[in-house]
Amino acid sequence: MIHLLWLSLAIPIIVHLVHRRKAKPMPFSTLLFLRMLDQRVARRQRLREFLLLAARLAVLAALVGALERPILKSLNSRGGGVPATAVILLDNSGSMQAVSQGSSAFERAKGAALQVVDGLKSEDTAALVLSDPGAEKAPVSTSDLAGLRTRVAALECGYGGGELGSPLQRAVELLEKSPNPAKELYILTDLQRSAISPAIKEIAARIPREVPVYLVDAGAETPCNLAVTRLDAGLAVHAVGAPFGLSCRVENTGSRSATGGTLSLIVDDEKVAEQPVAAVPGGAQTLLFRYAFKSAGVHTGRVELSPDGCPSDDRCYFTIPVLEKLPVLLVDGAPSVVRHLDGAFFLRLALQRNGQEGASSPITVDIARPEEFDSKRLDEYACVILADVPATGEGWADRLADYVRRGGGLLLFCGERVNPFAYNAALGPTAVESHRLLPAALGEVRTPQAGAEPCFFRIQEADRDHPALREIFSGMDLGTTQVTSLLACQPPSDAEAAILLKSDGGPLMLERRFGAGRVILCATSCTPLWSNMPLKTWFLPLMHQIVYYLSGSGSEPGAVTVGMPRTIKVAGEKPVEVKLLPPPARPDDKPQPILLRSAVAGAENKAQFNGTQRPGIYRVEFAAGERQVREAFAVNAPPGESDLARWQPAEAKTNLGRSNLIYTDKPDHLATVVQLQRQGLPLWDYLLLAALALVVLEAFLANVFVKH
C-alpha cells in the first residue's frame, strides 16, 4: 500500500507541468524589448523553479521513503532465520588489565563479548577462544548460549602473553568446521603491538571473504604505567649471611612521566626495603636491592611497585634457595709445605672466609689430593675445583662429565703443573664428545716476551654483566692485576664458550655450559706464581661468587613466566605424590592444593606442572624418603605484556590483511554495530530529518529564492 504513495511524487510534477502549460497568451506590440532582455535571467529563473520542483519532489520522496522504513544493508548482512556461528576471540592477556577511563580493557572486552552472545538467536552457535587459554580445554562451538554467557561473565583476565596468532588459528578452524551458513568472527583485543604481528595475515587469509570480522578495540591509552620488566637475583644459590643482590629494571610504558612511585622489596611477606622510582615515558631505571638471608631454606619474595594503570606488571616474584653450608671439593694438584706455593692455599683461604668480620663462611672446603679423587662422591659437593692438577686420572673424565651434566659446577685453575695435552685429550676437543667439558682447548704456557714492558699481562676486558662477576667488578679498575703466565686457550668456534675475563695475553677465564651444569676455566693459576690475582682484595668475593654460581648450575630457574611449564625434580627412584599450592587469586582466598604425580624417566624423577596461569609463589611439597621436602618457585607475568604500545586501527587492519574488517573502538556499543551489520542501517530517521530539512529548503526557495 505504501508503495502507491510513490505516485504522490507525480503531484508536484503535474502541478509544475500544468502551471507551465497555462501560460497566458498575451498579444503584444513587439517582442523587441523582450528579446533584449537578458535571457540568463530567465534561465536562472527556470533553474530556480527546477530546484524548487526538485526540493518538493525530494520532500515527498523522503516522506514516502521514511514510511517504507528502509534499511541500508551491507554485503555482510545476513538474512533473518539463517543460523549463524559466532566465534569470539577474547584477548585475556596481561596487557588487557590496563585500566583507563575507570575500567580495564578486559572488562570492556568482556562486556562486548556478552553483547555478542546476547545478540545471538537460539538456533545460533558460538565459541569462545581465549588468547591465553590456560588450563582450559580446546574451544568448541556450542549452542548452549546461556552456559556460554555464564562462562564469559565469570572470566577473569589472564596474565599471559597476548599473541593472537595461535588463538586466531583456533578460531579459523572453528569457523571452517561450523556447518552454519552464516559465520561471524569477533576479535576483542586492546590492539597491543605484540599481539597482532604481521605474520597473522596468513592465518587471517584463511577466513572466507563473506565472513564478517569485527575488530573490537577495547584498549585505550594508559597514561601512567611503571612495570618491573626484569628481576635478576644473580646467583641461583645463596648462603646464609652472604650478601644477596637483587637487580630490578623498571620501565615506564605509559605516556606520561612517572614520579613519586616506589619499588618495595618484600621477603617472606615482610617489607624489607623501598626505593623511589621515576622514569620518563619509554625510560627505564635499574634499582639494586641488597639483602642477607638469616636462615637457610627456600625464601620467597617479590618486588612491588606502587599501584598504577596496569596492575599485572606491578609485581615480580622470586624464590631464593639459601643454604646453610656449601660443600666444595678442592683437588689440590700442587700440594706444598710452603703455604704460598701450595696450589690450594689461597683458594682455601678465600673460600673459608666470609669477608665479613666475625662471620663464618657458608662454604665448607674439602681438600683432596688427586689420588684421593676416586674416593670422593661428587654428588655430595655443590662444586668441584681442580687447582693446578697436572692431568685427570683414569675415569675422571667420565665422573666429571656425568657430574656436570647433571647440574654440577666445575672450576679449573691452570698452573705450571698442568699438562694441556692431557687435559685436551681427556676433557678437551680431542676427547670423546661426551667428555668435552673444557670451554677451550689448552695450549702452551704463554708469557710476555723477554724484555717487554710491562713484563706481565693485564686484564683488558671483563664481562661485568655476568652474574658471578657483576657484583665484584662493577666499576672496578682491573688494570693493577698482573698475569705473568697463562695457558693459551683457544675457544671453539661454535660460540658455546663465553669469555669472562680477557687479558692482553689471551682469554683468562672462560665458561661453558655442559648439560645442566657449568664449567669455568681459569687460564692462570690460583697461586701468586703466575698472577697476583690471589693477592687482590676481590679474589675472595670472586671465588665465593663463582662457587655460588657454579653450585646453582643444575637448579631450576627460580621463576618462570605465566603459561610456561614447571618441572619439579624429586628425590628417589620411585614416583611420588607432589602437592602444589598455587598462589591465591585474591588475598583472602584459600587456594586448593593441586596433586601431581612424579614420573621416573632415566635417572630423573620429576613431575611437570602446566598450570602456571597466575603470577605468584607456587609452593611444592613432596616426600623424599622419610624427609618432607618443601620448595617453591615463582611465576611472573611476561614482561612483553607491559609494553602497552598499540597499533593504529589502520595498521591492525593491514596486519590482519582484511579490507572489509569492521572496526569499532566502542566496545560498549558493539551490539549496535553488530545489529547494523546483521540487519542493516535503518534509514527512516534520517529520511524524516532530511524531509524536515527539505521542507525548510523548499520554503526558502519558494519565498526567497524564486520570485512569484
Partner 1 sequence: MSKGLYSKYYDPSKLARLGNLQMLARTVVEGYISGLHHSPFKGFSAEFAGYREYMPGDDLKHFDWKVFARSDRRYVREYEEETNMTCTILLDASASMGYRSDGCSKLEYGCALAAALTFLMTQQRDQVGLVIFDESLRERIPPRSSPAHMKYVIDRLEKVVPRGKTGIASSLHLIAESLKRRGLVIVLSDLVEDQDAVMNAFEHFRHERHELIVMNLFDPAEIAFPFSGLIEFRDLETREKMQLRAEVLGDEYRSKFAAFVDRYRRDTTRAKVDYQMLSTATPFEVMLAEYLRKREKGG
| Distance of closest approach, residue 53 Cβ to partner 1, in angstroms | 14
Q: Distance between CA 90 and CA 132 in Å, rounded? A: 9
Residue nearer to partner 1 on the CB measure, 41 or 603? 41
C-alpha closest to that of 428 among 414, 440, 443: 440
Nearer to partner 1, 24 or 586 (CB): 24
Looking at the Cβ atoms of 33 and 122, the one nearer to partner 1 is 33
Q: Residue 309 gets which letter from DSSP?
A: S
Pair 363, 351: CB distance under 8 Å: yes
CA 380/CA 484 separation, integer angstroms: 36
Nearer to partner 1, 49 or 366 (CB): 49
CA dist., res. 654 & res. 649, Å (int): 9
Classify strands 284-292 and 243-252 as parallel, antiparallel or unpaired: antiparallel
Cell numbers standing for residue 412: 679449573
Neighbours of 608 (CB within 10 A): 12
| Strand bridging mode 315-323 / 297-305 | antiparallel
Going by C-alpha positions, the residue among 401, 670, 637, 388 that lies closest to residue 514 is 401
Beta strands 627-636 and 559-561 are: parallel
C-alpha cell read off for 81: 532465520
Closest separation in Å from C-beta 55 to partner 1 = 18
Q: Which residues bind partner 1 (CB under 8 A)?
A: 19-20, 22-38, 41-42, 45, 707-708
Phi/psi of residue 379, each to 5°? Answer: -60, -20
The CB-of-685 to partner 1 minimum distance in angstroms stands at 38
Residues in the chain: 708
Least separation in angstroms between residue 702's CB and partner 1 is 14
**DSSP collapsed to 3 states, 386-453:** EECCCCCCCCHHHHHHHHHHCCCEEEEECCCCCCHHHHHHHCCCCCCHHHCCCCCEEEEEECCCCCCC
Closer Cβ to partner 1, 41 or 495, answer by number: 41
Q: Which of 38, 394 has the CB closer to partner 1? A: 38
Nearer to partner 1, 538 or 705 (CB): 705
Q: What one-character-per-residue DSSP string does 83-131 give?
A: -EEEEEEE--SGGGG-EETTEEHHHHHHHHHHHHHHTS-TT-EEEEEES
In the complex, least distance from residue 27 CB atom to partner 1, rounded to whole angstroms: 5
C-alpha distances (whole Å) from 655 to each of 86, 164, 193, 212, 642 are 22, 11, 10, 16, 21
Q: Which residue's CB is nearer to partner 1, number 30 or number 449? A: 30
CB closer to partner 1, 48 vs 464 = 48
Minimum CB distance to partner 1, residue 47 (Å):
12
| Cα separation values, 263 from 4, 211, 344, Å | 76, 48, 43
CB of residue 36 vs partner 1: minimum separation in angstroms?
5
Cβ neighbours for 328, distance < 8 A, ≥ 6 positions apart: 351, 363, 364, 365, 366, 381, 382, 383, 384, 385, 547
Nearer to partner 1, 38 or 477 (CB): 38
**DSSP type of residue 37:** S
Q: Which is nearer to partner 1, 19 or 206 (CB)?
A: 19
CB of 70 to partner 1, least distance (A): 37
- In the three-class reduction of DSSP (H, G, I as helix; E, B as strand; rest coil), residue 586 is classed as coil
Rounded-to-10 torsion of CA 322, 327, 330, 335: 120
- Tell the smallest beta-carbon distance from residue 707 to partner 1 (Å): 6
How far is 17 from 35, CA to CA, in rounded Å?
24
To partner 1, the closest distance from the beta carbon of 697 in angstroms equals 20
Q: What minimum distance in Å lies between the beta carbon of 46 and partner 1?
A: 8
At closest approach, how far in Å is the CB of 51 from partner 1?
A: 14
Q: Are the beta carbons of 437 and 519 closer than 8 angstroms?
A: yes
Residue 42 or 288: the one with the smaller Cβ distance to partner 1 is 42
Measured from the CB atom, the residue of 627 and 707 that comes closer to partner 1 is 707
Chain centroid to Cα 229, Å, comes to 9
**Min CB(214)–partner 1 separation in Å:** 57
Minimum distance of partner 1 from residue 15's CB (angstroms): 13
- In the bound state with partner 1, the residue whose beta carbon lies nearer, of 294 and 708, is 708
